[in-house]
C-alpha cells in the first residue's frame, strides 16, 4: 500500500492508500463519520463507517477533534460527477488527539488571529495566500535565472543609511553601531561590473511608524540591477517579470485563488501591455478624479488607490519630479527637473509594487547629488568608485513581495501576506 | 547588427556583433592591440588593428586602461583548434576611460581586498565564486519546488532567542528590544501543520566573537522542516538535495571550477552514497588519528578538519550525545542519552555543512527540556502549542550556504563565499 500526498490522490482511484493528515473538519451522521482531512498538499474527505471497523476502532474514532493528527488507510474513490475524491477508511491511527482548538468557526478579531499566527497559518485562506506567495517567489527565481541574472546577496548589516538615516533600526555591533538594510540596491550595483545583470531577494527593514494597510517593518524585497540598459529596456524587463509571475500563479494556483474568492479577470489581463503615463499626466488625472494633489507632488497612498481603481492592468508612472526621488536617480535627458524613473502601480486600488530608475553614472554629478542631499560622503566613497572605474549606463528596480502577494490574492491588508508579520506593535509570535 | 552577451558568441561566428564590456586586460604589439573583454557573462579577446580604424579612433584606442568600459563592434571568428572566439574590431566607443584601477596584478593583502570588496568582486576568481554560489542557490530552489516544499519566510526580527540569549544582536525596536534571528527553524516548524513540507532561505546572524575561517556574523541559511518523516527519510532528502546541488554546479560551472583550479574529482564522487557513522565511532576514529577529543564531547573545528580529510564524499555523523545538542531534538528511541540527529560534514577537511534532527513532538517532554535548558517558557508557549494541536512526528535540517560554497569552490576562508562579508571586525563596504 502506498503512502501518498493528497495532491496525488487522483492517480490512486480504486486503490488502497495511506495518508497522514490533520482533521480540518468533521461531522457524523449515524454510524458514518465524515472527516475533512488536510495534509498541507490538499484536502480530501475520509468516510469512516463504524460497521467496517473493529469495535475498539469504532469507539476510538469518536474521540476525534479539530486539528487532530491521524494516519488513515483506505480505498480511494472518485465522485461520479465532480473532480472530487473520497477515501473509504479501512483503518486509522491517531498521532494525537488535539486539545480544543482555539481558532473556531466564529469570527475572531485580527489581534487574536495574529497572536495565534502559528496556528492561523493552517486556515484555508492563509494556506492559499502562502501557496501563492511561494509561486510568486519561485517564478521570480525562474525568471531571473532564465534571463541571465546572477543572485548577489546584499548585506543586512550596514554601516550607514542608504537614503538618509531616518526610519532605520540601529544595532549594537560589537564596539560600534550598525543599521538594518532598507534596500540592497547600492550594493548590488557594484556587482553589475562583475556580472552584468544581478539581483538580490531578501528581507529589508523600515522603522516606520506607519500603521497603514501597506506597511510592515520587515518585508521582502527583490532588487535587480542591469548594466548597459536604458529606462525603456528596464521597464520591459519589469513588465515581462510581473507577467511571468502572474501567469505562473494562474497556472498553478487556481484552487487557491478560488479559496480566496479572487476575481481572476484582472489577473488575466496581464497578457496585455501595461499602461504608461508620466507623473504630470497622473497628477492631472488625479485632480480630475477629485484628489487635492498639487502639481509636482508625490502620490500618497490614497492617490494611488484612487488612480489605480481606474485601471484593469498595472500602470507605469514615469518621470517623477527629481526632487521627490532618491539621489542616485539619473535625470531625464530633456528635462533636468525630472528623474529618469518609473514606479509600477498595481491596478484595482493596490498601488506601488515596483520602483525603478536609470542610475546616475557620472562621478561628478553623483558627488554633487550626495552633497545636495547632505549624505555623508565618506560612507558613499565605495559607491562613487563605481563611477570611476568603468562607469556604464545602468538601471534597476525593486519590487516589494508582500505588495504583489496582496494584490494577486486580493487582500485588504499586507499583514496576511507574510508568514510572521512585524509591525510597529507586533513582534510576536 | 546584433547586440549580444559574450556567453552567446559561439552562435555568431562570421557575423558582425556589438558587445558592451569592461577591459579586464590589454596589451599591444605594434599596430595591433589585444583587449581582453569581460561583460559579466564571459570573456572574449578583441583584436584592435589600427590600420582598420580611422586615425582618430586609432589614437583614441591608445587611451585604454584597465577596467575601462567600452562598446565594440566587429566580426566574430573562432580559433582554428580551440573553443575560443575572437572579435576583429571594426569600431568602438568608450563609455568611460577608467581611473588607474587600484587592484592590480601584484599581490594584495586580504584587508586591502576586503576594503575594496566592491571592486574585488570583478576579479575572475571572485566572479567564479559568485557564479557557483548562484548555481547552488538556484539548485536549492529547484529541488525544493520539485519536492513539494513551500517557502515560508521566517522573521529576522524576533522577541527572544531561539537557543539561549548568547551571541545575539540586540535592536531597539520602538519601545522594546528585539533580536536578530539565529535560525528560522522554530517558526517554520509551525508551518508544517499547514503545508507539510516547508523551508526558508535567508540571512541569519550570530554575534560570535569567533575569528576562524568558518565564521561570519551574517550568513545565509536554508532551513527545511517536514511532517511525518523519521531521521532516515530526513537524511535521504538531505543527501538528494546536496547531490542535486553539486551536480548542477558540475553541469553549469566547469569554467568557473577551472578558474578556481578546483580538483573536481571529490565533487564527482557525489553520485555515490554518503558515508555514515555515529558520534561514538567518530570519536574513536578521531582518537586513533591523534585528536585529544574525549568520549561524549562535541567535535571542534579542528576535529572536523582532521576527520573529514579522511573522506572523499560527505559524511553523516549521527546520534550525538543529547546534552551537547539543542533542546528541541528528539531523543533516540533506544538510548535516551543520544539525540536522534545527524550533522553532515563535507569531506576534504571542510566539516559541518548541515545540522538536522528529529524534533521532539511530545508536549510534556518538550516542556521539561525547555525548563532543563532554563529557557523562558513564556517565549516558547506558541512553540509548545504545536505539540497540543495535532502534533506529528517531524524533522528537519539547516544548511549553511557559505560553508557549502566554500567547499565546492575549494576556498580556504568563508569570507570569499559571500558578496559583502560581515565579521567581528568588518562592516564595510
Residue B318 CB contacts under 8 Å (≥ 6 apart), including other chains: B231, B276, B277, B278, B279, B341, B342
Asked whether the beta carbons of A14 and A33 are under 8 A apart, the reply is no
Q: Within an 8 Å CB–CB cutoff, is residue A393 touching chain B? A: yes
pLDDT top residue among A166 and A324: A324
Res B293 pLDDT > 90 = yes
Q: Which of B184, B389, B391, B395 is the mutation pick for testing A, counting most A CBs within 10 A?
A: B389
What integer is the mean pLDDT of A247-267? 98
Is the CB of residue B395 less than 8 Å from the CB of residue B237? no
Q: Is B305 exposed, middle or buried (0-12, 13-18, 19+ CB in 10 A)?
A: middle
Q: Which residues of B387-418 are buried (b: 16+ CB within 10 A; e: fewer)?
A: bbbbbbbbbbbbbbbbbbbbbbbbbeebbbbb
Given a cut of 80, is residue A307 above it in pLDDT? yes
Q: At what angle do helices A231-252 and A124-146 cross, to 10 degrees?
A: 140
pLDDT-derived band at A214 (thresholds 50, 70, 90) equals confident
B192 at the A interface (CB within 8 A)? yes
Q: Which residues of chain A lie closer than 8 angstroms to B116, CB-CB?
A: 382, 385
**Cell numbers of B10, please?**
559561439
Q: Is the pLDDT of residue B164 over 60?
A: no
Comparing CA positions, the residue from A58, A56, A68 lying closest to residue A30 is A58
CA B369 → CA A396, B192, B223, B360, distances in Å? Answer: 49, 22, 22, 9
Q: What CA–CA distances, in Å, run from B125 to B99, B120, B174? A: 22, 9, 43
DSSP assigned state of B228: T
Q: Looking at residue B329, what DSSP letter applies?
A: B
A39 touches B at CB < 8 Å: yes
Give mean pLDDT, residues A64-73.
98
pLDDT at res. B215: 85
Length of chain A counted residue by residue: 429
Chain B nearest-CA distance from A210, in A, is 12
- Residue A16 CB coordination number (10 Å): 15
d(CA B96, CA A296): 34
* CB of B217 closer than 8 Å to CB of A65: no
Mean of pLDDT values over B175-194: 96
d(Cα A339, Cα A232) in Å, to the nearest integer? Answer: 14
CB A24 within 8 A of CB A68: no
Q: Are A172 and B170 in contact (CB < 8 Å)?
A: yes
8 A C-beta contact, residue A190 and residue B123: no
Three-class HEC string of A70-96 = EEEEEEEEECCCCCCEEEEEEEEEEEE
Output the pLDDT for position A291.
Answer: 97
What SS3 state is found at B127? helix
Say if B420 is an interface residue toward chain A (CB within 8 Å): yes
Question: Which residues of chain B from 197 to 226 reach within 8 Å of chain A, CB to CB?
Answer: 197, 202-203, 205, 207, 209, 217-218, 220
Quote the minimal CA–CA distance from A311 to chain B in Å.
31
- Which chain B residues are within 8 Å of A131, Cβ to Cβ? 150, 195
Residue A58: Cβ within 10 Å count = 16
B274-313 residues touching A, CB cutoff 8 A: none
Quick check: B291 pLDDT over 60?
Answer: yes
Q: How far apart are CA B120 and CA B134, in angstroms?
A: 18
Q: Is B394 on the interface with A (CB under 8 A)?
A: no
Mention every residue, 6+ apart, whose C-beta is less than 8 A from residue A339.
A319, A320, A321, A322, A325, A329, A330, A331, A332, A357
Contact A23 B390 (CB under 8 A): yes
Q: Does A175 touch chain B (CB under 8 A)?
A: no
Buried b (16+ CB within 10 A) or exposed e, A86-99: bbebbebebbbbbb
Contact A390 B69 (CB under 8 A): yes
DSSP run (H or E) holding A45: strand A43-49
Q: CA-CA distance, A305 to A377, in Å (whole number)? A: 37
Q: What percent of chain A has pLDDT over 70?
A: 99
Mean pLDDT calculated for residue range B127-144 = 98
Minimum distance, in Å, between the CA of residue A155 and any CA atom of chain B: 6
Q: Taking a C-beta distance cutoff of 8 angstroms, is the pair B404, B237 a contact? A: no
Percentage of chain A exceeding pLDDT 90: 93
Q: Above 80 in pLDDT, residue B163?
A: no
pLDDT in tens, A98-107: 999 999 877 8
Report chain B residues whose CB lies below 8 A from the CB of A67. 193, 389-390
Q: Give the torsion sign (CA, A29, A32, A38, A42).
A: negative
- Using DSSP bridges, classify how beta strands B315-318 and B275-278 pair: parallel, antiparallel or unpaired: parallel
Which of A419, A421, A426 to probe the B interface (max B CBs under 10 A)?
Answer: A419
Quickly tell me which residue has 548542477 as its cell. B248
Q: Are B131 and A419 an interchain contact pair (Cβ–Cβ within 8 Å)?
A: no
Judge whether A195 is closer than 8 Å to chain B, CB to CB. Answer: yes
Q: Strand pairing partners for B85? A: B78
- Give, for B197, the enclosing helix (H) or strand (E): strand B197-205
Q: Is B237 helix (H, G, I), strand (E, B) or coil?
A: helix
Whether chain B has a CB inside 8 Å of the CB on A131: the answer is yes
Residues of chain A with CATH 2.40.50.140: 2-96
Q: Considering chain A, what is the average pLDDT of its residues?
A: 96
What's the gap in Å between the CA of B376 and the closest CA on chain A?
14
Integer angstrom CA distances of residue B124 from A195, B24, B412: 11, 9, 17
Looking at residue B132, the DSSP 8-state letter turns out to be H
Q: How far apart are the first and last CA of chain B?
A: 40
Average pLDDT, chain B: 96
Residue A274: pLDDT band (50, 70, 90) is very high
The mean pLDDT of A329-352, rounded to a whole number, is: 98
Other CB atoms within 10 Å distance of the CB of residue B312: 15
**Confidence band, pLDDT 50/70/90 cuts, at residue B369:** very high
Nearest of B222, B262, B8, B265 to residue B132 by alpha carbon? B262
Nearest-angstrom CA–CA distance, B36 and B23: 6
Mean pLDDT of B78-84: 89
How far does the CA of residue B154 sit from the closest CA of chain A (Å)?
Answer: 7
Spatial distance between the Cα atoms of B21 and B7, rounded to a whole number of angstroms: 12
Q: In 3D, which of A213, A238, A351 has the Cα closest to residue A286?
A: A351
For chain A, how big is the Rg over CA atoms in Å?
Answer: 26
The pLDDT tens digits for A218-237 are 999 999 999 999 999 999 99
Distance CA B22, CA B17 (A): 16
Torsion angle, alpha carbons of A210, A216, A219, A224, to 10: -30
Structure confidence at residue B83 (pLDDT): 86
Residue B213's pLDDT band (boundaries 50, 70, 90)? confident
Give residue A162's pLDDT band: very low, low, confident or very high (50, 70, 90): low
Contacts of A41 in chain B (CB under 8 A): 148, 195-196
Q: Enumerate the H helices of B28-82 as residue ranges.
A: 55-61
Q: For the domain B117-416, what is the CATH code? A: 3.30.930.10
Q: Looking at A158-162, B186-190, B241-245, B297-301, which range is the least confident one?
A: A158-162
In this prediction, residue A211 has a pLDDT band, given cuts at 50, 70 and 90, of: confident
| DSSP assignment letter at B80 | S
Residue B104 pLDDT exceeds 90: no
Q: Is the Cβ pair B203, A202 closer than 8 Å? A: yes
* Residue B212: predicted pLDDT: 76
Q: How far is CA B403 from the centre of its chain?
A: 6
pLDDT band at A163 (very low <50, low <70, confident <90, very high): low
**Are the CB atoms for B336 and B322 separated by under 8 Å?**
yes
Q: What is the structure's pLDDT at B165?
A: 58
Three-state secondary-structure class, residue A164: coil
Instruction: List where CATH 3.30.930.10 sits in chain B.
Output: 117-416
Closest CA to B281 of B319, B231, B322: B319
A85-97 pLDDT, tens digit per residue, is: 999 999 999 999 9
B7: nearest Cα among A234, A147, A328, A389: A147
Range name among A72-81, B128-137, B160-169, B373-382 with the lowest pLDDT average = B160-169
A401, burial (CB in 10 Å: exposed 0-12, middle 13-18, buried 19+): buried
For B4, residues 6+ apart whose C-beta sits below 8 A from its C-beta are B12, B17, B18, B19
Report the CATH architecture of A2-96. Answer: Beta Barrel (2.40)
Minimal Cα–Cα distance from A408 to chain B, Å?
17
Amino acid at each position: 500500500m502506498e503512502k501518498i500526498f493528497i495532491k496525488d490522490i487522483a492517480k490512486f482511484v480504486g486503490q488502497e492508500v495511506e495518508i497522514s493528515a490533520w482533521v480540518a473538519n468533521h461531522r457524523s451522521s449515524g454510524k458514518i463519520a465524515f472527516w475533512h482531512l488536510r495534509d498541507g498538499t490538499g484536502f480530501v474527505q475520509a468516510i469512516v463507517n463504524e460497521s467496517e471497523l473493529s469495535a475498539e476502532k469504532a469507539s476510538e474514532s469518536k474521540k476525534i477533534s479539530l486539528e487532530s493528527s491521524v494516519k488513515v488507510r483506505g480505498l480511494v474513490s472518485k465522485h461520479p460527477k465532480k473532480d472530487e475524491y473520497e477515501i473509504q477508511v479501512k483503518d486509522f491511527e491517531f498521532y494525537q488527539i488535539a486539545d480544543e482548538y482555539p481558532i473556531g468557526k466564529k469570527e475572531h478579531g485580527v489581534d487574536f488571529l495574529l497572536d495565534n499566527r502559528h496556528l492561523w497559518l493552517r486556515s484555508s485562506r492563509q494556506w492559499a495566500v502562502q501557496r501563492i506567495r511561494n509561486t510568486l517567489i519561485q517564478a521570480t527565481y525562474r525568471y531571473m535565472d532564465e534571463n541571465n541574472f546572477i543572485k548577489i546577496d546584499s548585506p543586512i548589516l550596514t554601516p550607514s543609511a542608504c537614503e538618509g538615516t531616518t526610519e532605520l533600526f540601529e544595532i549594537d555591533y560589537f564596539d560600534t553601531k550598525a543599521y538594518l538594510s532598507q534596500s540592497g540596491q547600492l550594493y548590488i550595483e557594484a556587482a553589475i561590473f562583475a556580472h552584468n545583470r544581478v539581483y538580490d531577494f531578501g528581507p529589508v527593514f523600515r522603522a516606520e511608524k506607519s500603521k497603514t494597510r501597506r506597511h510592515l517593518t520587515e518585508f521582502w524585497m527583490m532588487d535587480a540591477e542591469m548594466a548597459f540598459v536604458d529606462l525603456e529596456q528596464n521597464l520591459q524587463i519589469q513588465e515581462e517579470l510581473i507577467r511571468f509571475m502572474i501567469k505562473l500563479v494562474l497556472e498553478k494556483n487556481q484552487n487557491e485563488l478560488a479559496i480566496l474568492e479572487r476575481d481572476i479577470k484582472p489577473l488575466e489581463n496581464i497578457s496585455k501591455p501595461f499602461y504608461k503615463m508620466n507623473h504630470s499626466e497622473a497628477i492631472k488625472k488625479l485632480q480630475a478624479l477629485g484628489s487635492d494633489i498639487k502639481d509636482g507632488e508625490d502620490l500618497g497612498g490614497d492617490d494611488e488607490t484612487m488612480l489605480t481603481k481606474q485601471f484593469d492592468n498595472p500602470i507605469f508612472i514615469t518621470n517623477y519630479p527629481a526632487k521627490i526621488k532618491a539621489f542616485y536617480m539619473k535625470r531625464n535627458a530633456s528635462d533636468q527637473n525630472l528623474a529618469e524613473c518609473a514606479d509600477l502601480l498595481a491596478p484595482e486600488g493596490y498601488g506601488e509594487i515596483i520602483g525603478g530608475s536609470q542610475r546616475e553614472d557620472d562621478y561628478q554629478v553623483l558627488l554633487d547629488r550626495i552633497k545636495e542631499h547632505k549624505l555623508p560622503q565618506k560612507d558613499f566613497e565605495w559607491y562613487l568608485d563605481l563611477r570611476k572605474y568603468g562607469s556604464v549606463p545602468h538601471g534597476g528596480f525593486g519590487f516589494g513581495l508582500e505588495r504583489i502577494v496582496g494584490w494577486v490574492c486580493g487582500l485588504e491588508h499586507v499583514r496576511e501576506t507574510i508568514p510572521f508579520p512585524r509591525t510597529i506593535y507586533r513582534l510576536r509570535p
